[in-house]
């Protein structure tokens, strides 16, 4: 059986430990999805259904979140995967991750996501038959339906694409570890040395900007797995970055030390991007400037958030323990709740603030109710990515020394 051979600093914490600050980051990043996806009802960007209201002022606010919110989740997932190698050998780790990701993905595609597609077709085309007819005749067609407008490939995973991508990256990483177990340790040693200073503010932004400038024009974001090369380059890179540097104390110390500078530079680059975005990228020089500003803002926000979290979010609490377990089931159900509630309110003539409030609080209530039911019913737990009751959780520590 393959054994873990990746090097780690002599003072590293046990691989079975976890970082409280990163738990809070993960909770916050997933929690933002509720508000972000509610916002998608009201902006001009495409979404499964739309409110009758348009709130143009939301778009710059959502642009604050859009560049880094999902990349941050992949980065934290890479860190978590590395810590899990202290608890599992490679084979059991990959089996555990497959069960915790693929079972909810398949269940979600068959049960949770279909109401989203149905409501979309009802609002777009006035589908006359009910949900059961839609599910039997169209949802399991395994091909494009209702083309040309909208043209939906059914069944679909919609927001659960994150789960599919995370599983693919985890399995690919497992293959690399099995074939070349020393490679990532070699990379880690060099990255930890090179990026423990000001280069941490320079090298990753240039890499992310290059992806945006070179890949995005040819491979726009689809979340369809195949051919989605810009997203794969971005998300696989930050996932791998989180994995190889999870135990690099110098990197985490640099993130904390540089947090204010990173935040200040992020603000500058965001304003620069916003100014160029307002021109709709007229001409190649502006496109290059937009790509550099976007990539820099993307990375510097993640760096600043991780640095501030490492500094401030080190205390454990019952809320942290509850939400760490609950947040993945929340993620699974949140978008379906948003779309179903928004669809039910369609045509009611409510003001935007009241409609949005009902959608937000209704979605939170649906998430909480789902988790409270699921965590008590053994057979439902794996369907929502929860451990079985007999499976031990990873122990937790607060930071009493520089985090590893």
> What are residue 246's phi and psi, to 5 degrees?
-60, -35
Average pLDDT over residues 109-129: 96
Question: 277: pLDDT confidence band, cut at 50, 70 and 90?
Answer: confident
Question: Is 276 domain-assigned?
Answer: yes
Q: What integer best gives the mean pLDDT of the chain?
A: 90
Question: Is 95 domain-assigned?
Answer: yes
Question: Is 401 domain-assigned?
Answer: no
pLDDT, position 17 = 59
pLDDT, position 165 = 98
User: From its phi and psi, is residue 350 left (phi > 0), alpha (psi between -120 and 50) or beta?
Assistant: beta
Question: Is 9 domain-assigned?
Answer: no
Token pair 């046990």 is at which residue? 14
Question: 3: pLDDT confidence band, cut at 50, 70 and 90?
Answer: very low
Confidence check: pLDDT of 354 > 50: yes
Indicate the burial class of 16 (C-beta count within 10 angstroms; 0-12, 13-18, 19 or more). middle
pLDDT, position 11 = 34
Question: Is 232 domain-assigned?
Answer: yes
Residue closest to 296 by CA, chosen among 267, 256, 259: 267
Query: What pTM value is reported for the model?
Result: 0.90
The total domain count for the chain is 1
Question: 271: pLDDT confidence band, cut at 50, 70 and 90?
Answer: very high
pLDDT, position 193 = 82
- CA–CA distance from 12 to each of 8, 75, 151, 350 (Å)? 6, 20, 51, 56
Confidence check: pLDDT of 213 > 90: yes
Distance CA 376, CA 145 (A): 38
Question: Is 136 domain-assigned?
Answer: no
Question: 13: pLDDT confidence band, cut at 50, 70 and 90?
Answer: very low
Question: Is 256 domain-assigned?
Answer: yes
Question: Is 125 domain-assigned?
Answer: no
**Domain encompassing residue 94:** 18-113+157-390
């Amino acid at each position: 059986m393959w054994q873990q051979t990746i090097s780690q600093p002599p003072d590293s914490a046990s691989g079975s430990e976890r970082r409280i600050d990163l738990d809070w980051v993960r909770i916050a990043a997933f929690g933002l999805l509720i508000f972000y996806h509610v916002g998608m009802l009201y902006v001009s960007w495409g979404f499964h259904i739309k409110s009758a209201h348009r709130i143009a002022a939301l778009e710059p606010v959502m642009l604050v979140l859009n560049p880094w919110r999902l990349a941050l989740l992949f980065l934290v997932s890479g860190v978590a995967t590395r810590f899990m190698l202290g608890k599992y050998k490679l084979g059991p780790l990959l089996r555990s991750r497959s069960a915790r990701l693929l079972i909810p993905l398949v269940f979600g595609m068959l049960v949770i996501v279909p109401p989203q597609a149905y409501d979309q077709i009802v609002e777009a085309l006035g589908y006359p038959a009910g949900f059961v007819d839609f599910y039997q005749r169209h949802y399991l067609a395994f091909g494009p339906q209702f083309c040309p407008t909208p043209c939906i490939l059914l069944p679909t995973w919609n927001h659960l694409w994150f789960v599919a991508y995370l599983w693919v990256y985890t399995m690919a990483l497992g293959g690399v570890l099995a074939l070349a177990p020393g490679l990532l340790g070699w990379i880690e040693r060099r990255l930890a040395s090179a990026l423990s200073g000001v280069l941490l503010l320079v090298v990753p932004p240039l890499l992310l900007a290059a992806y945006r400038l070179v890949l995005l024009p040819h491979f726009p974001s689809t979340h369809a797995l195949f051919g989605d090369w810009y997203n794969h380059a971005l998300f696989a890179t930050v996932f791998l970055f989180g994995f190889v540097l999870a135990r690099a104390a110098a990197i985490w110390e640099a993130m904390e030390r540089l947090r204010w500078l990173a935040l200040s530079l992020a603000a500058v680059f965001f304003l620069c991007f916003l100014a160029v975005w307002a021109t709709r990228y007229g001409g190649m020089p502006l496109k290059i400037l937009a790509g550099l500003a976007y990539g820099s803002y993307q990375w510097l926000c993640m760096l600043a958030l991780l640095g501030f979290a490492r500094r401030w979010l080190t205390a454990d609490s019952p809320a942290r323990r509850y939400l760490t377990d609950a947040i993945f089931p929340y993620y699974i159900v949140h978008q379906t709740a948003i779309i179903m509630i928004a669809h039910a309110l369609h045509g009611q003539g409510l003001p935007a603030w009241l409609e949005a409030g009902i959608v937000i609080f209704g979605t939170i209530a649906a998430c909480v109710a789902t988790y409270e039911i699921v965590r008590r019913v053994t057979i439902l737990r794996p369907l929502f990515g929860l451990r079985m009751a007999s499976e031990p959780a990873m122990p937790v520590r607060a930071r009493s020394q520089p985090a590893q």
